[in-house]
Amino acid sequence: MTVTNAESAAELSAPAAAEDPLVGIARQLLIEVGEDPNREGLRDTPARFARWWREFINYEPGSMGTLFESIGTSQLVVVSDIQVWSLCEHHLLPFNCSVTIAYRPTGQLLGLSKFARVAHYYAHRLQVQERLVDQIAAEISNLCGAPDVAVIAKGEHLCMSMRGIKAAAQMTSTALRGEFSTSPALRSELFDLLRT
């Protein structure tokens, strides 16, 4: 195959594909910790690092608002042990949470998979666990119009397990809205369900 002068001139004038800035950051990080980003085993690491960050932060949960007609307003609906990963905004280290969401429907039931979609949507960002439960509670309340919403998360934070004190521990945080914040009987019912 013969390359014409016009083709080679076009190739020379075409701008090189811009490198993802996260690739450069990862390469520099490897250098700063004493590694050679060009050595076997690390050559593709900066690109993998960049893809992971883009995938995590740009998470798209899909439809979160599928609703069904409720069969009663005295029900307590609890979806428990939704596993999510997030990133500590203070150290950029992961934390994982087991999230439980409870609500009392007021005419609309939220589709079961939507609870996990909502939890993952708010977890896929730089976060603190206390804000995470509050955002999930607000979104559930907004989606189904239910004022009585409770979100409980138990999490292990690698910023504590891997650095500093280097001790694994579980942190529990809650967001209690509506009657969950004012009714000891409703809170007791919820916690009794979670213990069984």
Three-state secondary structure string covering 34-82: CCCCCCCCCCCHHHHHHHHHHHHHCCCCCCCCCEEECCCCCCCEEEEEE
Q: Please tell me the predicted confidence (pLDDT) of residue 18.
A: 81
Active site residue 97: no
d(CA 84, CA 110): 19
Q: Please tell me the predicted confidence (pLDDT) of residue 114.
A: 97
Q: Of these residues, 35, 91, 108, 156, which one is catalytic?
A: 91
Q: Please tell me the predicted confidence (pLDDT) of residue 196.
A: 83
CA neighbor of 114 nearest in space, from 144, 86, 148: 144
- 14-43 tens-digit pLDDT: 455 688 999 999 999 999 999 999 999 999
Active site residue 19: no
Q: Of these residues, 88, 97, 120, 139, which one is catalytic?
A: 88
Q: Please tell me the predicted confidence (pLDDT) of residue 6.
A: 52
Q: Of these residues, 83, 90, 130, 170, which one is catalytic?
A: 90
pLDDT at 1 over 70: no
Q: Of these residues, 129, 135, 139, 144, which one is catalytic?
A: 129
- pTM comes to 0.87
In Å, what is the CA distance from 87 to each residue of 5, 116, 185, 193? 52, 17, 35, 30
- 37-82 tens-digit pLDDT: 999 999 999 999 999 999 999 999 999 989 998 876 678 999 999 9
d(CA 176, CA 148): 8
Q: Please tell me the predicted confidence (pLDDT) of residue 107.
A: 85
Measured on CA atoms in the order 90, 91, 92, 96, is the torsion positive or negative?
negative
> What is the spatial order of strands in the sheet that 77-88 belongs to?
126-127, 77-88, 94-103, 149-157, 171-176
Q: Of these residues, 75, 89, 130, 170, which one is catalytic?
A: 89
Active site residue 88: yes
- 156-168 tens-digit pLDDT: 999 999 999 999 9
Beta carbons of 101 and 151 less than 8 angstroms apart? yes
Reported confidence tier of residue 124, pLDDT bands at 50, 70, 90: very high
Q: Please tell me the predicted confidence (pLDDT) of residue 12.
A: 47
Active site residue 144: no
Q: What percent of the chain has pLDDT over 70?
A: 90
Active site residue 135: no
Q: Please tell me the predicted confidence (pLDDT) of residue 64.
A: 92
pLDDT at 138 over 60: yes
Active site residue 90: yes
For each of the domains in the chain, give its residue range(s) and CATH number, in order of start: 18-57 (no CATH), 67-195 (3.30.1130.10)
Q: Of these residues, 108, 156, 159, 189, which one is catalytic?
A: 159
